[in-house]
Amino acid sequence: MEQSNPSSSRSDRKTIERNRRNHMKALYSELNSLVPHQTSRETSLPDQLDEATNYIKKLQTNLERMKEKKDSLIVGMDEKPNSSTNSGMTMMGLRSPQIEIHQNGSALEVILITGLDCQFMFNETIRVLHEEGAEIVSASFSTVVEDTVFHTIHCKVGEPALGDEAARISERLEKFVRDAN
């Protein structure tokens, strides 16, 4: 029977434990870097873990709320107004969508004008832009006269010299809006 050196095995255990602690420290640091902080002061490890836990719970709550909102919007889109049951209601919010696209070099500005009934078109426009490889820089909207929504999307497309990406994107978006009418 071979007997191992006790100091060697103790040294191995210390090295393994030191590596484990260093690994855990790196993981805690990475977790802490992903959590937005309210203060810039140094916090203890338990406080950092509490903060991360609370942040994750908040994200889960927001996600659930957004899923519920999405589901209610989808249900609302499926329930089209019936003319026999809706004869007394005004047609407020119903407006044919329009789109304007302006190019300046590699910058593209998309202006989508819809009624309140066509909010999904903004999401579809963003989806088309992503599919075409455009990088969304900013997006905003404003409601005017309670039934018209102006969406403005600023994005960046490939260099103009590399091809006519903007023309292809414009054509695809205009066809999408035409088909929606």
Residue 152, domain CATH: 3.30.70.1150
pLDDT in tens, 140-179: 888 877 678 888 999 888 765 445 677 788 888 888 787 7
DSSP per residue over 133-165, as a string? TPEEEEEEEEEETTTEEEEEEEEE-S-GGG--H
Give the residues across from 107 on adjacent strands: 104, 156
Pair 68, 114 in one domain? no
Q: Which domain covers residue 25, as residue numbers? A: 6-78
| 87 inside domain | no
Pair 123, 63 in one domain? no
pTM over 0.85: no
pLDDT averaged over the chain?
Answer: 78
Alpha carbon of residue 86 to chain centroid: 35
pLDDT in tens, 25-55: 999 888 888 888 766 567 788 888 888 999 8
Overall domain count for the chain = 2
CATH number for the domain harbouring residue 66: 4.10.280.10
| 62 inside domain | yes
Residue with tokens 């969406």: 151
Pair 118, 166 in one domain? yes
Cβ count within 10 A of residue 159: 10
